[in-house]
Amino acid sequence: MTAVIIDGKQQAAQIRELLAAEISASRIKPVLAVIQVGDNPASQVYVRNKHKAATEIGMDCRVFHLPETADEVMLSELIANLNNDCDVNGIIVQLPLPKHLNELRILSQIAYYKDVDGFSPYNAGLLQMNNSDAVVAATPQGVVELLNASLGSLTGKHVVIIGRSNIVGRPLADLLLNQNCTVTVAHSKTVNLPELARQADILVVACGCPRLVRQDWVKPGAAVIDVGINREDGKLVGDVDFEAVKNVAGFITPVPGGVGPMTVAMLLKNTWQACLKQHSQS
């Protein structure tokens, strides 16, 4: 068997095109504020990509680049100003922050309706309660979009997620539970992970371990979604041994070109939706 390759790049391009058309048909120019602290090289690339993608669909993307030494007061002041700025519809803080800054305290200061990354405790709580007002984190939302497009209804599927981070594993578990899946979340202390993974109808891997998942970890015909982005000898590789696993899986995402492009598209979608909501309430 050779798996169907799920083309995240193409699906993301379609979403961006749709957003561009909606924005150009409206009289509104959505504004996304991106806060970057320090010069983490991976963050530089991510911020550049978000800026480019936003600009291409007619969104105004304003990058606020603070020095590595910025303290919490500086950051809090900037967030408060952006919260109060009616022109700004979405605010994101590029993670990771330098070690001296308290991530949770900072993310909690973003007005929940401008929190287009969905990382604040308020939006995470709404998602957990299956409340439709939740702004859902972009990467898990992208994973679910890819699954829905390939498999249709996910009701009754057993999903195993490898990884329990606040930005991928946990919100994804909530989203899939809300789609009537049976969800198992695995992590670094999980016992007998290969056997558990083999029980999955859908296996999502987000652990940051290059090629951890091998062919014999996958049930024949299962859908395998690889969230991992690892750099090896200047090349990007996922958390799944793609070349081997594609011979047994029914569906599989590549790295690059799978979940990554969907993350950016979902961030733009969240920003546009936040913008429309704010305009309808003003």
Residues in contact with ligand NDP by CB under 6 A are 139, 162-165, 167-169, 186-190, 193, 206-209, 212, 227-230, 259-260, 263
Q: Which CB, 114 or 170, lies closer to ligand NDP? A: 170
Q: Which of 11, 50, 157, 241 is catalytic?
A: 50
The residue among 161, 119, 138, 148 whose CA lies nearest residue 53 is: 138
Q: How far is the CB of 165 from ligand NDP (least distance, A)?
A: 3
The residue among 265, 249, 247 whose CA lies nearest residue 257 is: 265
The CA distance from 264 to 188, in Å, is 27
Q: Which of 94, 109, 141, 278 is catalytic?
A: 94
Q: Which CB, 208 or 277, lies closer to ligand NDP? A: 208
The CA distance from 138 to 168, in Å, is 9
The residue among 69, 83, 73, 72 whose CA lies nearest residue 33 is: 83
The pairing of beta strand 251-252 with beta strand 223-226: parallel
Q: How far is the CB of 191 from ligand NDP (least distance, A)?
A: 11
The CA distance from 104 to 14, in Å, is 34
Q: Which CB, 45 or 80, lies closer to ligand NDP? A: 45
C-beta atoms surrounding 87 within 10 Å: 11
Q: Which CB, 88 or 254, lies closer to ligand NDP? A: 254
Q: How far is the CB of 187 from ligand NDP (least distance, A)?
A: 4
Q: Known catalytic residue: 71? A: no
Q: Which of 117, 174, 201, 226 is catalytic?
A: 117
Q: Known catalytic residue: 141? A: no
Q: How far is the CB of 208 from ligand NDP (least distance, A)?
A: 3
The CA distance from 214 to 193, in Å, is 11
The pairing of beta strand 235-237 with beta strand 230-232: antiparallel
Indicate the residue whose CB is closest to ligand NDP: 165
Q: Which CB, 30 or 163, lies closer to ligand NDP? A: 163
Question: Taking each helix axis from N to C terminus, what angle separates 8-25 and 259-281, rounded to the nearest 10 degrees?
Answer: 20
The CA distance from 273 to 282, in Å, is 14
The residue whose two tokens read 């979405």 is 90
Q: How far is the CB of 162 from ligand NDP (least distance, A)?
A: 5
Q: Known catalytic residue: 50? A: yes
Catalytic residues: 50, 94, 117
